[in-house]
């Protein structure tokens, strides 16, 4: 199977992860113009499974190092399979809550708050489980990211909004809960995998098989979490399975699947990079997606349109803190 061979390449893959994780929600914004986010999310989950299968039978099945995709699945112990699957379940619940938050509060606030919290928490959890990198630089970078999150929330709070105060507060609440949950999922996937990808221990998974089992956790749990969102949505926008099968055009289905594929590419590259970068750095850099999503929200979707000078200054400082924080996370490995 294909394995990342050096730290520089690992950082490059983490940057791609950042772009993917920070951009997939644009597909939700596109699809939401025509149908409910819950219906979009079914295609999104399917897209994650399809991408992990594609990577498993291509990159995960060729090469002399490690174990092949199918061989690895066959030898895996139940504990490893369970851990990767639970990672998918936890991620899916967290992500649905953040998707709801995007629908309520907008991309420029839901992503920085939710995913920013996940970044801080996830780096701490993964570092103490597998300490790689200089802690002073790593946690200084995480601190700057946390400052950026606060600045974004404050800037959003100063904007005049057409949506009701209760709706904005609800969106922030879902971002907060989703972010806390999101900080845990990566550790479950990491615990399912062997430390040495090239010569993996018996019973543990390699990246490609772990990612596939993770994707099954996402899809299976979707029957519970997304069904709840469809019929009892906190946004007040309810829908049914009948609408999914009768009203969805090929274009809408492809947009949703594309969203899942984009996110899953980011997840796959992050896991592959972790062999060289360590889980804390790999996860932390990937969750720099917060910065990418904020850029989309501010400059493309115009979610801060009409902002006064004070808000613009806060946004500029937010971006600077994010960039400085990500830089410190990168150099913590040297």
The pLDDT of residue 82 = 98
Least confident of 70-84, 149-163, 192-206: 149-163
Least confident of 23-27, 53-57, 100-104, 273-277: 100-104
The pLDDT of residue 15 = 94
The pLDDT of residue 274 = 96
Domain boundaries, given as residue ranges, for the chain: 7-331
> Who's near 114: CB < 8 A, 6+ residues apart?
94, 97, 98, 101, 174, 175, 176, 178, 179, 182
CB 283 within 8 A of CB 115: no
What is residue 205's DSSP assignment?
A: B
Question: Using CA atoms, how far apart are residues 25 and 262, in angstroms rounded to an integer?
Answer: 9
Tokens of 221: 């749990």
**Is pLDDT above 90 for 152?**
no
Bridge partners, 205 (sequence order): 193
Q: How many percent of the chain have pLDDT more than 90?
A: 66
Tokens 């999914």 sit at which residue?
244
- Which of these, 97, 116, 120, 96, lies nearest to 108 by C-alpha position? 116
Average pLDDT of the chain is: 91
CB 212 within 8 A of CB 53: yes
Tokens of 125: 């959890």
**Is pLDDT above 80 for 250?**
yes
The pLDDT of residue 16 = 96
Pairwise pLDDT comparison (110 vs 197), residue with the higher score: 197
This prediction has a pTM of 0.92
- How many angstroms separate the Cα of 308 from the Cα of each of 51, 106, 298? 43, 19, 13
Mean pLDDT of 19-35: 87
**Is pLDDT above 70 for 276?**
yes
- Residue 119: pLDDT band (50, 70, 90) is confident
The pLDDT of residue 144 = 93
The pLDDT of residue 33 = 77
Pairwise pLDDT comparison (301 vs 164), residue with the higher score: 301
The pLDDT of residue 334 = 82
Mean pLDDT of 237-251: 92
**Is pLDDT above 70 for 165?**
no
């Amino acid at each position: 199977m294909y394995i990342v061979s050096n730290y520089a390449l690992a950082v490059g893959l983490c940057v791609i992860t950042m772009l993917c994780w920070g951009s997939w929600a644009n597909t939700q914004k596109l699809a939401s113009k025509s149908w409910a986010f819950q219906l979009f999310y079914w295609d999104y989950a399917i897209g994650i499974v399809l991408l992990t299968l594609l990577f498993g039978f291509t990159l995960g099945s060729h090469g002399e190092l490690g174990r092949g995709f199918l061989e690895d699945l066959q030898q895996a112990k139940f504990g490893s399979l369970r851990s990767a699957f639970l990672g998918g379940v936890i991620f899916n619940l967290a992500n649905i809550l953040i998707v709801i938050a995007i629908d309520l509060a907008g991309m420029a606030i839901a992503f920085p708050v939710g995913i920013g919290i996940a970044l801080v928490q996830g780096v701490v959890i993964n570092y103490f489980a597998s300490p790689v990198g200089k802690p002073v630089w790593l946690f200084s970078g995480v601190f700057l990211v946390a400052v950026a999150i606060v600045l974004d929330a404050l800037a959003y709070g100063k904007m005049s909004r057409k949506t009701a105060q209760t709706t904005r507060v609800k969106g922030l609440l879902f971002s907060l809960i989703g972010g806390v949950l999101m900080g845990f999922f990566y550790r479950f996937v990491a615990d399912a995998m062997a430390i040495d990808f090239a010569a993996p221990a018996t019973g543990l998974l390699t990246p490609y098989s772990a990612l596939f089992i993770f994707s099954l956790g996402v899809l299976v749990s979707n029957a519970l979490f997304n069904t709840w969102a469809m019929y009892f949505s906190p946004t007040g926008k309810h829908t049914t399975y009948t609408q999914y099968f009768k009203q969805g055009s090929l274009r809408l289905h492809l947009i949703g699947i594309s969203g899942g594929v984009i996110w899953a590419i980011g997840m796959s590259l992050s896991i592959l990079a972790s062999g060289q970068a360590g889980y804390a750095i790999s996860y932390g850099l990937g969750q720099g997606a917060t910065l990418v999503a904020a850029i989309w929200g501010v400059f493309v979707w115009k979610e801060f349109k009409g902002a006064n000078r004070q808000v613009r200054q806060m946004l500029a400082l937010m971006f600077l803190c994010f960039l400085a924080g990500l830089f410190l996370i990168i150099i913590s490995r040297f």
